[in-house]
């Protein structure tokens, strides 16, 4: 009987001790006729509202668990990478330092607070008539 109680308690604690992770997506924003990427369905309306483009295509994405004090490297494809260092975590948000690179060129260095399950959208470099966008989210 004791082992059943132990099993139930361990399952309850395992369910509440989920690891928080950071996800970054590299996106191309364009007004040229194309179709919207289904992988961006969850943020398409936010992208359109913030940047005004008609079409968004995901070029790359990576997700990794956050580890206190550890600097993470997320390779996003197209020679873009994002370095993320957790600074602190609040009740429902994470304070992160991040550095966004295109090759060896630093595009942006900043410390931001992201609400869990929220998104940070950053307009990056222009490519022809299109723009590169970075979407960063923290998930539980």
Residue 103, in any domain of the structure: yes
**Structural domains of the chain, count:** 1
User: Does 5 reside within a domain?
Assistant: no
Contact 66, 21 (CB under 8 A): yes
Q: Domain residues for 103?
A: 19-139
pLDDT tens for the 140 residues of the chain, in order: 443 333 333 333 333 345 789 999 999 999 988 778 899 999 999 999 999 999 999 999 999 999 888 999 999 999 999 999 999 877 788 899 999 999 999 999 999 999 988 899 999 999 999 999 999 999 88
Query: Would you say residue 3 lies in a domain?
Result: no
Task: Give a yes or no: residue 43 inside a domain.
Answer: yes
Between CA 87 and CA 129 the distance in angstroms is: 36
Please report how many Cα atoms fall inside a 13 Å half-sphere around the Cα of residue 45, on the Cβ side.
Answer: 1
Q: Is residue 7 part of a domain?
A: no
Within a domain: residue 60? yes
Is the residue at 70 inside a domain?
Answer: yes
Position 33 in a domain: yes
Q: How many CB atoms within 10 Å of residue 61? A: 17
């Amino acid at each position: 009987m004791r082992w059943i109680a132990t099993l139930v308690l361990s399952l309850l604690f395992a369910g509440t001790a989920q690891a928080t992770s950071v996800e970054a997506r590299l996106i191309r924003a364009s007004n040229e006729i194309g179709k919207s990427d289904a992988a961006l369905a969850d943020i398409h309306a936010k992208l359109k509202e913030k940047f005004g483009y008609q079409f968004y295509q995901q070029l790359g994405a990576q997700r990794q668990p956050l580890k206190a004090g550890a600097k993470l490297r997320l390779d996003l494809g197209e020679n873009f990478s994002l370095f993320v260092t957790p600074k602190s975590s609040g009740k429902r948000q994470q304070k992160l330092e991040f550095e966004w690179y295109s090759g060896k060129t630093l595009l942006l260095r900043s410390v931001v607070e992201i609400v869990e399950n929220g998104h940070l959208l950053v307009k990056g470099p222009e490519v022809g008539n299109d723009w590169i966008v970075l979407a960063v989210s923290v998930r539980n």
